Amino acid sequence: MLREDLFYRLNEYPIQVPPLRERRGDARLLGLRVIDELNVKYGTRKLPTKSLLRYLAYHTWPGNVRELRSFIRYLYLRADGDLLSAPDVVQTVPQADEDGLLIPAGWTMRQAEDAMIEAALARTRFNKKAAARELGISVRTLHNRLSDKDA
């Protein structure tokens, strides 16, 4: 009963929030906020490069804030040093269009598989079970591919 009442009260004042692609400056600020949250969580001090800040501002973010958070977290967890850079990821994780994943010409099958796995993990917010289901493979196979990649 309380929820229904709250719904109708809040519905009196609808708030329109445009998608992230229409708020380029917000994507940059949100990205910085996510990096700060991860720095606090992991007790580190990683910083974005200028190229990453430009990438955050100009990427269309079809998945809105969830995609942005997943992307930043992916970068953060994969970074070797204290700098988070866009070119590294742009090369390793091709952007998806409406039809699916784009694989650059000249890539090996292994590189394409790795990109598909990384994209599925990013889309599922690093949920390995969901990523494996999306890829049509078992969780064990996904774990094996990930450990082969890290070796």
Domains parsed from the chain with CATH numbers: 1-92 (1.10.8.60), 94-151 (1.10.10.60)
In Å, how far are 57, 66, 103, 151 from 23, measured between CA atoms? 8, 15, 28, 40
Residues 128 and 137: their CA atoms lie apart, in Å, by: 11
**Model's pTM, two decimal places?**
0.53
Cβ neighbors of 33 (< 8 A, separation 6 or more) are: none
Measured over the CA atoms of residue 56, residue 27, residue 42 and residue 133, the dihedral's sign is negative
Q: pLDDT tens across 115-140, in order?
A: 888 888 888 888 899 999 999 999 99
Q: pLDDT tens across 4-58, in order?
A: 888 788 788 878 888 887 887 899 999 999 999 999 999 999 999 988 888 888 7
In Å, how far are 1, 28, 118 from 138, measured between CA atoms? 43, 36, 15
pLDDT tier for residue 100 given thresholds of 50, 70 and 90:
low
Residues 47 and 91: their CA atoms lie apart, in Å, by: 20
